[in-house]
Chains A and B, each alone.
Chain A
């Protein structure tokens, strides 16, 4: 379990997150939603130690992550940024980078690391892509390769910044299946997501943010019923049943 304790954070002295306290449980999917610029990505970056908070603490299983080395943190927390450079690298090598926090000097992967990488590639159906250069792949395929890297990193907490943005529907659903698999094996997955329907249908908990503060952090049904989404986004939101008790959320102005 990872817990943020009265965390304030931002960039260049400008406070974006204001005194945030919340915790993310293992074996659950948490979606962070909110309007552009409300501090969602800042929350992810702060919780994964990419940004140092101005105040407060972040505790991983009771231990402050600021008392851990970079590698120790990377063995327990992974973070997949929204925008990335496209490196000139083979799929296999990129996924192997997920094992970097476990490699001692001089960074030679052990047999165990190779097995984990092979399993991650197999799990995401990328075995046939392993010798391809990542530059040759489509956006969706690249995202799957990065997800395989996260899988190989094998951390208890996984932060994903907009993992489905710009992907076609097929790849979106594939990525969400991977997220569900991560939950099944006991990880805490915290993702910033713009698609409110995905957030409300795939998550165990939804965290709605506005102007650097948490408006509500609860189950999707409770968040929906609170009508706070409608207030924050200035839209109308309705449930729509699609059969067999399943529902989707429809938004209108």
Chain B
């Protein structure tokens, strides 16, 4: 945990320091301490780098913990906000809110939450109706995700003048975020993380299945509903400012489990730290890899996440065959 915290601090410093113009640590300290307000460095740090760094931290921990909750809730290693369509649901509702309420950016996290929540419930009920197997959930999620993506595309084509940058939104990106835009999502993510950690032992019991959970005295329906809301709040909030970032919610929970095991009480803080670090790392790569050009961070995440997803699919298939 200490190592992860140190890693996060190093990445925060790097994120503030590197970019189209590199800024040394002494200048950063000078700017953060309130000196040099009129310098270009101060402007860059204050209005570009810090909002972007904070946004990466919020996006990383939000999507990772949302993925962890979904994987535990559905007892499915392949579940994540990106895979089962939660992000695209949030994206659709965000796009709708920008079309109909373009003047109010604070509505975006609420709309995104509603979209994420609706899709999670929809996928859950489809999978339940068809028998809650691992593959059913993934297939139901893929189908719902495709539908949501098609609807979002339609809206963005019909209303090209929405406040959303279409490419950046669909791939997922953090460029151009402002503190105003991430304030509300940041608070929602923070409160949701605290709540998820508070009830993390219930999530452990829930992953044993409904009947075992009930026979141990857990109120299964209430707990499941609570965690569906929390995962929707986490992923919806992130989508509202970062777009459809994929794979982070799938990859990081798995790496975290390799590091600390399967106890959600430990996994949630580890996922939050590692997810933030991963998002910062990808964002730094997105800014520097093709400098002076910048690519949306979602592309980097897909480059790193897709092979991991294929690996998991093969592993899952092998396990199903073995069983």
* Given A87-B75, A90-B262, A107-B202: A50 in contact with B217 (beta carbons within 8 A): no
How many pairs of residues, A versus B, come closer than 8 Å at their CB atoms?
73
B205 touching A88, Cβ below 8 Å = no
* Alpha-carbon distance A49/B219, docked complex (angstroms): 12
* Alpha-carbon distance A79/B208, docked complex (angstroms): 13
Q: Of B211, B214, B216, B219, which one neighbours A98 at CB under 8 angstroms?
A: B216
Bitwise, B232-269 to A at CB < 8 A (1) or not (0) is: 00000000000000000000000001000111000000
Nearest CB in chain A to that of B208: its residue: A87
A84 touching B209, Cβ below 8 Å = yes
A117 CB, nearest partner CB in chain B, Å: 14
A71 at the binding interface (Cβ < 8 Å)? yes
A70 at the binding interface (Cβ < 8 Å)? yes
* Given A81-B209, A100-B205, A106-B201: A90 in contact with B214 (beta carbons within 8 A): no
Bitwise, A118-156 to B at CB < 8 A (1) or not (0) is: 000000000000000100000000000000000001000
Tell me if A's interface is mostly helix, strand, loop or mixed. Answer: mixed
B136 at the binding interface (Cβ < 8 Å)? no
Residues of A within 8 A of B201 (CB): 100, 103, 106-107
B204 touching A50, Cβ below 8 Å = no
Most A Cβ at <10 Å: residue of B202, B204, B212, B263: B212
B198 at the binding interface (Cβ < 8 Å)? yes
* Alpha-carbon distance A191/B208, docked complex (angstroms): 21
Residues of A within 8 A of B198 (CB): 106
A93 at the binding interface (Cβ < 8 Å)? yes
B218 at the binding interface (Cβ < 8 Å)? yes
* Alpha-carbon distance A89/B192, docked complex (angstroms): 24
B223 CB, nearest partner CB in chain A, Å: 11
* Alpha-carbon distance A81/B208, docked complex (angstroms): 11
A46 at the binding interface (Cβ < 8 Å)? no
A97 touching B214, Cβ below 8 Å = no
* Alpha-carbon distance A77/B214, docked complex (angstroms): 11
* Given A88-B262, A90-B262: A50 in contact with B214 (beta carbons within 8 A): yes
* Alpha-carbon distance A151/B180, docked complex (angstroms): 55
B217 touching A73, Cβ below 8 Å = yes
User: Of residues 67 to 94 in A, which have CB atoms within 8 Å of B's CB atoms?
Assistant: 69-75, 77-81, 84-85, 87-90, 93-94
Please report A residues at the B interface, Cβ cutoff 8 Å: 45, 48-50, 69-75, 77-81, 84-85, 87-90, 93-94, 97-98, 100-101, 103, 106-107, 133, 153
Please report B residues at the A interface, Cβ cutoff 8 Å: 75, 198, 201-202, 204-205, 207-209, 211-212, 214-219, 257, 261-263
Instruction: Provide 8 A-B residue pairs closer than 8 Å at the C-beta atoms, listed in order of the A residue.
Output: A79-B215, A81-B212, A85-B75, A87-B208, A87-B262, A88-B262, A98-B216, A107-B201
Further pairs besides A74-B217, A81-B209: 12, Cβ < 8 Å: A50-B215, A70-B219, A74-B215, A74-B216, A88-B262, A89-B204, A89-B207, A89-B262, A93-B204, A97-B205, A100-B201, A153-B216
Per CB-CB distance, the 7 closest pairs between chain A and chain B, nearest first, are A74-B217, A71-B217, A107-B201, A79-B215, A101-B217, A81-B211, A100-B216
